[in-house]
Structures are given as C-alpha cells and as structure tokens.
Amino acid sequence: MDANNAVAGSPAGDKKSILLVHPLGYSAKSARHDISRIANIMPPLGLASISAYLTSRGLANDIIDCYAHPDSDELIVAYLLRERPAFIGFSCTTSSFFDGERLARLAKSTLPGVKVVFGGVHVSAMQEKVLEEYPVIDYVVVGEGEETLRELLATSAGQRDTVASVVLRGADGRPFFTGRRKELLDLDTLPFPDYAKLAGYPQAYTLPIFNYPKAPNASCLSSRGCPYACSYCDRSVFKRSFRYNSADYLYRHLSFLRKTYDIRHVNFYDDQFTFNRQRVADFCRMVMDAPLGMTFNCAARAEHLDFELLTLMKSAGCWMISLGIETGDEELLAAHRQNPDLVMMREKIALIKKAGIRVKGLLMMGLPGETEASIKKSQKYVYSLPIDDFNLAKFTPFPGSPVYRQIKEGGASMGTFHEDWEKMDCMQFQFIPKGMELARMEELFVDFYRAHFQRPRVMWSYVAMLWKSPDSWLRFLRHLPSFVRFTSTNKRIGKGK
C-alpha cells in the first residue's frame, strides 16, 4: 500500500506512544537481490536502545525494521490504524532519508494528526534545513535520542520548545533548534536494547559472511562517540564525546544475549573498542573466570593495542579485529587522519596475528587528493600485510563530516561531487577527486578486489572457512546467484559499461 492508496483513518490517539521505524532506503524488489544487504543485515541498535529506555519510563512503543523486512509498508499502515500512536519516529542515514520521508507521508495520509519525528546522523547534521525542505516532518531529534525523545513524548504540544536537542517550528512557522542537551546519559544506567521488539531476532540479522565462527550471532554497541577527529567521519550525533559501558555491564549484556537468544558470537560496532585498555582487560578476565561460550569481533585503532592486551582478548574469545587502514599512501592518510603511521600499523597487525586473532583491514578509495598512483600504492601496501580479510568502501562525504564542508567550499578544486543522497551508501562513487574519472575509479576498485581474491594465500584462507565458519559457506551457497549477479555487474561497471 502506498501513500496514494492508503485509507485515511481517524486522528492519532492521545496516548504518548510511538512507532519506531528503520527505513529500507530503496525498493523492496531491489532489496531481495541486493547482496550487500543479504551479506550483512545489522539490527537497528539505536532504535532498540531507545525502545528499551522509553518502555522503562512507561511510554508504549514498537519497532518495525524495514531493512530486515522489506515490503513493510502494509505493516506500518495496519499498525497505525490499529494502535493509533501519537508519534511515528524514523532513524535514517543519508541514503535512507528519502525512503523515511516517503513513509512519513504514508503515515500522515493514513493517520492524520500523527506527529513525525526524525533522528540519526543525517538529520543531526542538517538540523533546520530538514524542516525547511520537508513539511511532513514535525520534529528532528539532534544527537543522542533516548532522553530527548522521552521528553518530547511526555511534554504537551505547547511546551515542546523547552525540550533540548530538538528542531521544531515556531509560531511563525519557521524551524529553530532548541540547542544541544548539556548532560549525556550514563551508559551503564541504560537497560539492554529491546531485542524482543525486532521481529525475527536473531535469525533475521546476519553478520558479513566469513566474519564469524558460529551462529546465531549478533551486533552490539558498548560505547558511543570517538575522541578522534578524522576528516571523513560524521560526528553529528555524539560530537567529540566518548563514553563507554563498564566491563561489568558489558559482561552482563553478553550473558543476557547468550541466555536469552543463545548468541554464540558478537560483533562490537564500537568505533574504539580498546580505547580504554583497563575496561577491556577487566572484561576479558571476567569472561575467562566465568566463560560464556561466546566469541567476539571488535574494531580498534592500532595505537590502542599491545601484545599483553591482545593475548588477554584471544583468551577471552576474540576472533577478529578490524583496523581502519583507510589508505596505504601515508601522505594521503596524513591529510585526513591523526597518527598516520603505516609502519606502526604493520607492526600492530603482526602482533594481532601473533596472538592468534584474525585481522580485517578497512579501507576507502576516492578520498580528496586520491590519484591512480596513490591507489596502486595502497593496493601494494595492503597486499603486503598478513590480513585475513578487508573491506574497501567507496569514499562518501557525509553531511556532518569536516571533509564534506571542505568539498562543498572547495568546489572544482577538490573534485566533482554529485550529492545524490539515495546513492550515498559507500557502494557508489559520488565524489570523484580532481584529476580522476569515474570509469577509471570503477576499474581500479574492481581490480583491487579481484587481485586480492586471486592470491593463493587468500583463496586458501576462504577454503579454511569450511571448518572455521561453516555457516558462512552455507549462506554463500544459498545466495550464490546473487553473488554471481553482483560480480557480473561490477565487471560491467569496471569496463565503464
């Protein structure tokens, strides 16, 4: 059912309830064959955390995750007509914003009077511009959502301009921002995310293939923010703040996942899991003293790793560590990141391998200043490392990142930027550095991956996954046609067709 065909229901209810929605971001038909989605469906942890917080404060809510469950339009309409919530909230990335706005129009046509709230990194960066350009949206929550949304739901309409961290329209119809919330939540006081409100959890969600040893598996967040200021990172939600759960909270959270959902492996999506060395060491010792029968992955910066800590992490079940290498060209790296030390990176990767932990490298292609020579240099560097896996993203300048402003202000001197929000998903080149061409960028991107997978050591490492991660191979074979279509499409793109 779409907005044009929806049957208008009665006005929204008076009760302070909300339907939380995670938009798909593109057509449901495309989603069924999108291998990037099939290979990695991450639960909306932010919404699940907000849901648990609202419930603990006596505010009714539910979640519909359209990304995990495409074709959810009719579910949303049916829910609105049945429950008549006072609010509907959307958590959007840049690429999923327009789909969220479409669903907001569908909600308004179905349930007149329902208030539409948007949150997430994209709207936290755009703020007043969102309400200026999209009249269907009533409120924008800027930054951390739990307490701001609770206050918004609990406050009468005429007093909502007193709620911090909200963009809303004034009496003159013009949007204004109430200013950022000064006090942030103590993360250890939060209830665990309400996984039960995610339909089909945990089976409906999957980590990237070959990135885990056992299933069922799950994603988890144990910190918020990042103390660093890399040019390409959007810090609209948490700014430069950095908070984390204690080791005790972390242990209890994983224990809950194991006992409630039989989770066997967890991937921590924290930007800096090991930034506080002591809490990780304490957590590892807790796991060693009272094993949970679980393994885990995490992401870290190389400068926050040492062999003693790595040995502890291995003993506690650490299976893989992801490192943000970004590029193998140190001069280019220095222009966008703090501590651009590729020699140190190589040394820390060697320590990770010595500890018996797998390594995944995270890279980007197409940063401002990128050249064909820097791409070749990066490729040579990455192939010289003993990494087990890597992910190469197509650099995307997101609103809220320092480099976005630089590119907008620099114009043609920086390169060509096609700001098509729906395509800003790190899977498509929307920014082309000065001196480069799109067709050649696509060729180099495909070559980077193809050459990696053709190396004998890499090929054998994936064969070894037959016994290291058998579930990954089953998923790969189950979706083989989609993988083949993806490969064929990339080959055509690589040839500029």
Question: Which residues in the chain show pLDDT less than 50?
Answer: 1-10, 491-497
- CB atoms near residue 193 (< 10 Å): 26
**CA dist., res. 164 & res. 80, Å (int):** 28
Residue pair 63/22 in contact (Cβ under 8 Å)? The answer is yes
**CA dist., res. 193 & res. 44, Å (int):** 10
Which whole-number Å values give the CA distances from 88 to 11, 66, 81, 91, 256, in the listed order?
A: 13, 14, 12, 10, 29
Residue 495 backbone phi and psi in degrees, to 5? -90, 5
Report all structural domains of the chain as residue ranges with CATH numbers, in order of start: 18-177 (3.40.50.280), 207-494 (3.80.30.20)
b vs e for 296-331, b when ≥16 Cβ sit within 10 Å of the residue's Cβ? bbbbbbbeebeeebbbbbbebbbbbbbbbbbbbbee
pTM of the model as a whole: 0.92
The pLDDT value given to residue 11: 62
What percent of the chain shows pLDDT beyond 90? 78
The pLDDT value given to residue 42: 94
The pLDDT value given to residue 9: 46
The pLDDT value given to residue 487: 53
Residue 269 backbone phi and psi in degrees, to 5? -90, 15
Residue pair 65/41 in contact (Cβ under 8 Å)? The answer is no
**CA dist., res. 325 & res. 230, Å (int):** 12
Residues 299-322: tens digit of each pLDDT = 999 999 999 999 999 999 999 999
Residues 7-63: tens digit of each pLDDT = 444 466 556 799 999 999 988 878 777 777 888 899 999 999 999 999 999 999 999
What percent of the chain shows pLDDT beyond 70? 93
Q: Which of 315, 274, 309, 277 is nearest to 295 (CA)?
A: 315
**CA dist., res. 342 & res. 327, Å (int):** 9
The pLDDT value given to residue 32: 76
Residue 346's identity, in one-letter code, is R
The pLDDT value given to residue 5: 38
